[in-house]
């Protein structure tokens, strides 16, 4: 809830900046002892569902098979909600500080690729550390071709 107005926090996720603002508003304080993931399903009109799902004790790395299985799970949830028109807002949280690590980029790369193959729309991925919530845009995490 917004403490000043007592109105529930109900963002519309129309831009990547809106997604970043949402994560920075609802996830606090920062700091984790284990890896975890948070996600919300988002209606076609940009309204996230009020249920925030937290999965703790996630593995520190995702290979392509892990990413495919996780995206299949998310796709089933999105299909139940509204099919192809829904998207998923997803944030990984890990112990430590700093911005995106090479491991964070690899994890996000695997997820973006698996989601694309499955036809699942992901909102801008984010990684949270003990000190910051950092966006992980697709063009910054996908491998560069020469």
pLDDT tens across 56-97, in order? Answer: 878 877 889 999 999 999 999 988 876 678 999 999 999 999
Residue given tokens 């790395």 in the structure block? 61
Tell me what percent of the chain is helix, strand and coil, each rounded to the nearest 5.
35, 20, 45
Find tokens 């831009």 and name the residue: 15
Distance CA 43, CA 46 (A): 5
Q: In whole angstroms, what is the distance from residue 40 CA to residue 125 CA? A: 12
CATH 3.40.50.300 fits 16-138, yes or no: no
> Mind listing the pLDDT tens digit for each residue in 92-139?
999 999 889 999 999 999 999 999 999 999 999 999 999 999 999 998
């Amino acid at each position: 809830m917004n403490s000043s107005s007592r109105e529930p926090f109900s963002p519309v996720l129309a831009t990547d900046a809106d997604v970043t603002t949402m994560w920075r508003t609802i996830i606090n304080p920062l700091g984790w002892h284990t890896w975890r993931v948070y996600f919300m399903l988002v209606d076609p009109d940009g309204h996230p569902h009020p249920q925030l799902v937290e999965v703790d004790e996630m593995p520190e790395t995702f290979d392509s098979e892990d990413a495919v299985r996780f995206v299949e799970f998310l796709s089933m949830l999105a299909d139940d909600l509204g099919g192809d028109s829904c998207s998923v807002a997803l944030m990984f949280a890990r112990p430590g500080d700093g911005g995106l690590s090479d491991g964070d980029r690899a994890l996000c790369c695997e997820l973006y690729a698996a989601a694309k193959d499955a036809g699942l729309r992901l909102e801008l991925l984010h990684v949270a550390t003990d000190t910051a919530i950092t966006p992980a845009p697709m063009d910054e995490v996908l491998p560069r071709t020469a």
